[in-house]
Amino acid sequence: MKVIGTGNTGMKLATMFDDDSPILISTAHQDSANYNNFNVSTFTEDGAGKRYGTGLGIWSKNENRLRGVLEDVIKEKVVIFSSLGGGSGSSSIPFISRILVEQGCKVLVCAVLPYKKEINPPLANAVQSINGIMEIIDDVSVMFFNNEKILKEFDNDWSKVNKQIIKRVSYVTELLETYSTDSYSPSTIDRSELDSVVFGGGFIDVTDTFLEENNPKFDYGKIDKDTKNLMIAMFVDVSVSNEQVDEYHKTLTTVTNKFAGRARNARLVPGILRGKVEWSRSEDKSIDDRAYITIASGLSIESYLNKIEKIRDDAMERAQAFATKAKVGKVISKKETNILDI
């Protein structure tokens, strides 16, 4: 799997996710200087000035060079990290994605939305970037991260915010390698099944809601008839006996049957994974031997559009206020001018 970071935030997240050999793409000398230990492709020295339109111009002018940077990424699984609030990273997503899709790659875009108090230009950039993403949504998977929510959860601690983003991305891309073991399971999930959900195209989200008690809580989407892929993984602690795991298989079947009715047109991938369960997320504190990871892709665009429209309206209101010329009043009247003209 290849990892790409574009723009300052994207490069930060990419190096956290892959500290070995991520592909880093920058348009500003200052941003590139933060990553001297990595190979950074810098397309301009001055950046895009936090303007989405300027970023589009940079990538249009340098598309052939961008193709050169990506020419060896062929028929790979690719994760792209980028903020949607900047100028260069947000505007690069459609260009990078189209090139990779042309080269037979499966693409997951991990895009970080600005929080409201960043105001414009980040909000305006995000709206324009999302508009560009909608043009390629059938060809790539897109996972949004709500900085408004995560910052509140971690009390404005950016280090914890970034770690939370990386953790959620690892859930969808490294669920088997990082979190599961080879202990007994009556219903397994293999790598090809996981990839078919994660790289199935459209909006994707992940949650660790304890499904025996509550419906899955996604940041944006919801499970409905438009959902294309649904993976429900029950994690059972490695200390649990094989006999008890077989009993939990019945529980998993009950859970999946409940949600299969909602996602009636989806491809359903249920299974039991074994690993160390540190926290079940259950309201019943005595339950500590099982947990759930639910991944859904091809989520209904309508749910996303409702949230996106709120960002758009906020950005438009602020942009219009910014563009309004202030009323200029005279400090002194003509009569006062004559008096003062001594």
Whichever domain contains 295, its CATH number is 3.30.1330
Say what the pLDDT of residue 261 is.
Answer: 87
Residues 100 and 240 in one domain: no
Residues 248 and 168 in one domain: no
Say what the pLDDT of residue 339 is.
Answer: 46
Residues 140 and 215 in one domain: no
Residues 116 and 260 in one domain: no
Residues 131 and 222 in one domain: no
If one counts the domains in the chain, the total is 2
Q: Which of 173, 194, 220 is the last residue of a domain?
A: 173
Residue 54: both structure tokens together: 């300027």
Domain of 287, in residue numbers: 205-301
- Would residue 199 count as lying in a domain? no
The 10 Å Cβ neighbour count of residue 248 is 18
Q: Is 286 exposed, middle or buried (0-12, 13-18, 19+ CB in 10 A)?
A: exposed
Say what the pLDDT of residue 335 is.
Answer: 59
Which residues of the chain are under the pLDDT cut of 50? 325-328, 331-332, 336-337, 339-342
Cα 70 from Cα 31, distance rounded (Å): 20
Say what the pLDDT of residue 333 is.
Answer: 57
CATH assignment at residue 90: 3.40.50.1440
Q: Do 166 and 17 meet the contact criterion of CB atoms below 8 Å apart? A: yes
The predicted-structure confidence for 172-209, as pLDDT tens digits, reads as follows: 999 999 999 999 999 999 999 999 999 999 999 999 99
Say what the pLDDT of residue 252 is.
Answer: 97
Four-point Cα dihedral 72, 42, 113, 210, nearest 10: 40
Cα 139 from Cα 76, distance rounded (Å): 14
Q: Do 277 and 259 meet the contact criterion of CB atoms below 8 Å apart? A: no
Element (H, E) at 107: strand 106-113
Residues 222 and 145 in one domain: no
With tokens 């897109």, the residue in question is 142
Residues 99 and 239 in one domain: no
The predicted-structure confidence for 31-70, as pLDDT tens digits, reads as follows: 788 888 898 998 887 767 677 888 889 999 999 999 999 9
Residues 127 and 216 in one domain: no
- Would residue 281 count as lying in a domain? yes
Q: Going by C-beta distance under 8 Å and a sequence separation of 6 or more, which residues neighbour residue 145?
A: 110, 111, 112, 113, 165, 168, 219
Residues 104 and 43 in one domain: yes
- Would residue 7 count as lying in a domain? yes
Residues 115 and 226 in one domain: no
- Would residue 102 count as lying in a domain? yes
Residues 148 and 221 in one domain: no
Q: Which of 133, 155, 173 is the last residue of a domain?
A: 173
Residues 62 and 112 in one domain: yes
- Would residue 35 count as lying in a domain? yes
- Would residue 184 count as lying in a domain? no
Say what the pLDDT of residue 48 is.
Answer: 72
pTM of the complete model: 0.85
- Would residue 313 count as lying in a domain? no
- Would residue 192 count as lying in a domain? no
